[in-house]
Amino acid sequence: MGTAAGNTAAQLAARTARGLGRAIDRIGQVTAWLMLALVLLVAGNVLGRYLLGFSSVAAQELEWHLLVPIALLGLAYGIRRGGHVRVDVFYEHFGTRLQAAVDLLTALLTLLFALVAIQLSIPYVEQAYWIGEGSPDPGGLPHRFIIKGCLPIGFLLLALQGLQMALESALRLAGRDREAATAAGHR
């Protein structure tokens, strides 16, 4: 591949990674607002139950109906921002290229895992939709397939984050550190 073609490919990879990163960041911001809604809902449920003697099954179910998208939509954002747990015992002693190779392998495995999870979750969501699954509790929330629909969406976001990390790592591995830093959102 010629230098011009290599530069064009690197620029395209950096732009794609940057765009994916921005999209994941925006979804992370939405997830933060869902967290606020969850906190307010839980506080309202507790105050209603203990101060007013009022409790609603639908309001209690809504708590975990909010928790599911928070966890699944926030997963990719947490990984993007380094909020995940990882052990750096060996990694921190690796050279830059070996770190990039490890990051690339990790990103590709994340992408593969997410794609398999999407494939496995779609029939689960379809089944809930076709049977009109709702809460088994009286006064509970209907349309449980909506909340189950967060499974493939959350794993799609994880796949996109895996792709973003793979592109960034490939740029670093190819010695395109400036493009990789830009793709990661650093200046």
Domain ranges of the chain: 3-184
* Nearest residue to 114 (alpha-carbon basis) of 166, 159, 160, 161: 159
Q: How does pLDDT run across 91-101, given as a tens digit for each residue?
A: 888 888 998 99
Q: How does pLDDT run across 90-129, given as a tens digit for each residue?
A: 888 888 899 899 999 999 999 999 999 999 999 999 999 9
89 phi and psi, to 5 degrees?
-55, -45
Claim: this prediction has a pTM higher than 0.85:
no
Whole-number Å distance between alpha carbons of 163 and 160: 5
